[in-house]
Chain A
């Protein structure tokens, strides 16, 4: 087996907000560093930062404060976030937005007086979401992409990481094994520091929002390396994903939250509103509440022809809707749906993983030389992520990771000798499908997606999760017995579909195990058999690591080192964060 070997100082996996910021910060800290970004697709074109519609939460206004942003994050996360990480997020967002504006060249929308416009967003006590129309992510990533391309950062595009390779002596990380997708060959890159910023993504569900290239590969590699993943039961579902049937990739993609905020109605198959029966706030309740209401209605069988519910905007006036949401209306029209005046079928859709690799406030992990940032990480958001805190998380911690890696390389960076047995095992795993008879991979992925949706989805119970874990095991057995035609390995998407599914199976099992262990309902995790939230004061988080072929789960108490349940950093009711705030208007 031919393996190209190369070296660099810093290897970054992923080119979303975290990966690109890490590259810029590391290059600025030490321009002599040899920095490489490896990405599964094209630089700046893969991943989900680019897809951000809403915006960026940042306490900039004089009447707002870090404390308020922090309290909203903690309360929204149902007291499960690691508080020092959440605090660092809120502090860092201020600097990062200024950096985006002044150094990177992003332009956020302005008020008439020239100051940044900040809009209302779900679950927040202050209008603090900076944005560029409803396409904030494009602005952020295009500008970052230009900056990175204009620096001496090397790119390994269409390179898929398949294994984090530890040092032979156990002293840390030696590098990363990748597949050059275009060439269909293996490549081992030795690096003094590596950033895991591949963006997780709950695409193992029947309906999901993330980009098609996301399949939890980074988390699967971290698990194999022995790192602990926390809060993995916490999968956020967005209530309104487009439903176009099973044969189109547009199914599951997000129709934005603002539609409900502006007064959109959700109707069941009988064309009746029903959400008020689940929560007094009706359509304007938070994502998790609306998702559960819609899911319950679907389970009761009151569905549209394709098995979802309708979103209806027409009562607001088709012309007005088209003016307020031009992007959404055009997208639906391109796909054959009339959002402004008609009914569009929607369904809750898996959006974001709050859980991920345990990491430190400097973006380091338990393995020396390995850093992590963005959606691959757990602990910042706890049980729920506020809209607008996702892009803040990836950019704040991506930048921190760049600073930390540059310092680490200067201080103690060495090329460690790799554990060749792990390289060999990684190649053997990737080679496995070529030795076997091909089968229906897409059908198998659909099967896993249905299992996760039915049994480990929006509403869970012990019986269902156990059934789901059995279903996952069946899917794994089927995958391991199934192959891919060998021959032209260059840009062979079916080979990568096989590898994608393997990563998704690994993480599906982790989500299921964590969901089974959490016997209370909070945030994104709802157990029909334990519908109450447990005692906040003794909150604990789940932690899963792999030990041989077994997953080991334990729980650890949340440290309330900044604020305790029942307390607030904000004086007076006016400044208190909303306990269950309804979503804001679309303004």
Chain B
């Protein structure tokens, strides 16, 4: 069993607030979400935080851990706090609701604004025949399994500077749509990604890719959109 006690600081409040300090027993199998849960159950019954699936699928529980955005349900304490000290805050770049919970509405709204599928076929048709080895499909597969946890959105400095920037997750989704052969108007998808606040706002710092808990590369997706935009410009398309 792990020995000792964790020194835990947790943000209490909204934009204004203060850290609370708690001594939590260190345990052999203990995630950051478990630490937050233990604080709520033992010390702070009104502590607000969000989680759902417990297995890294729902993307609800991300927080800022010792300055870094992470999913908490799959972040083992030993990996991020070898000295036994944890500072836990809400994700940045989103409105705060209370304590560790923030409002993901802006983030998800940007996603849906450029990331909603519109096809041509209907439920009366069989699924489209798509070669899984085709280059476009490989691009989609490399980027599609995003859980919209907003870790990339919180890690991105450009999102912090520019409230109109769509952000890495939304653009990553736009890239998968652009490469989806079933989409009715792929050009419109690209135009959505090229609008002000779109892919050209990205500075290619790569913080999104560095922090993505499921190993995606929004940086590569955004670079793909930029390339596609350039190609379409050279071909004399709308832009």
Contacts and interface: CB of A to CB of B under 8 A. Distances in A.
Interface of A: 41-43, 45-47, 50-51, 95-99, 101-105, 107-116, 132-133, 135, 137-139, 142-143, 145-147, 149-150, 157, 182, 211-213, 244-245, 247-250, 253-254, 331, 334-336, 438, 441-442, 484-485, 487-488, 490-494
Interface in B171-217: 173, 177, 180, 182-183
Given A147-B117, A157-B105, 15 more contacts: A47-B52, A105-B118, A107-B130, A145-B112, A149-B111, A211-B54, A248-B29, A248-B34, A249-B51, A250-B34, A250-B55, A250-B73, A335-B76, A441-B41, A485-B45
Interface in B14-45: 27-31, 33-34, 37-38, 40-41, 45
A331 B55 contact: yes
B184 to A, nearest CB: 11
Contact of B48 (A97, A253, A493): A493
Contacts of A97: 127
A47 B57 CA distance: 11
Looking at chain B's contact residues, is the secondary structure mostly helix, strand, loop, or mixed?
loop
A105 B180 contact: yes
Nearest to B101: A491
Contacts of B104: 42
Given A138-B145, A248-B29, A42 B38 contact: no
A51 B45 CA distance: 28
Given A211-B52, A249-B33, A101 B46 contact: no
A107 B57 contact: no
Most chain B Cβ neighbours within 10 Å, of A137, A139, A213: A213
B112 A150 contact: yes
A520 B56 CA distance: 39
Contacts of B37: 249
A51 B56 CA distance: 9
Given A137-B57, A245-B28, A250-B29, A108 B117 contact: no
A491 B48 contact: yes
Most chain A Cβ neighbours within 10 Å, of B46, B51, B99, B112: B46
Nearest to B37: A249
A213 B48 CA distance: 14
Interface of B: 27-31, 33-34, 37-38, 40-41, 45-60, 73-76, 78, 97-99, 101, 104-105, 108-109, 111-112, 115-119, 121-133, 137, 140, 144-148, 173, 177, 180, 182-183
B127 A334 contact: no
Given A109-B132, A494-B46, A442 B41 contact: yes
Contact of A110 (B33, B98, B122, B130): B130
Given A98-B124, A250-B73, A491-B97, A104 B117 contact: yes
7 contacts: A50-B58, A95-B123, A114-B131, A142-B148, A149-B112, A491-B99, A493-B49
Contacts of B115: 146
8 smallest beta-carbon distances between A and B, as pairs: A105-B117, A114-B129, A491-B48, A494-B45, A149-B112, A102-B121, A99-B123, A244-B29
B147 to A, nearest CB: 6
Given A42-B60, A146-B115, A107 B140 contact: yes
A103 B132 contact: no
A253 to B, nearest CB: 5
Contacts of B133: 112
A47 to B, nearest CB: 8
Contacts of A114: 128-132
Nearest to A484: B45
Contacts of B105: 157
Contact of A245 (B29, B74, B116, B117): B29
B131 A110 contact: yes
B101 A41 contact: no
A213 B60 CA distance: 11
Contacts of B126: 98
Nearest to B47: A493
Nearest to A133: B145
Contacts of A441: 41
A98 B127 contact: yes
B129 A334 contact: no
Contacts of A492: 45-46, 48
A51 B117 contact: no
Nearest to A130: B127
Given A211-B54, A493-B40, A146 B49 contact: no
A149 B47 contact: no
B177 to A, nearest CB: 8
Nearest to A110: B132
B57 A138 contact: yes
B59 to A, nearest CB: 6
B128 A102 contact: yes
A11 to B, nearest CB: 20
Contacts of A147: 116-117
Nearest to B52: A211
A114 B131 CA distance: 5
A335 B117 contact: no
B132 A248 contact: no
A500 to B, nearest CB: 13
Contacts of B30: 247-248
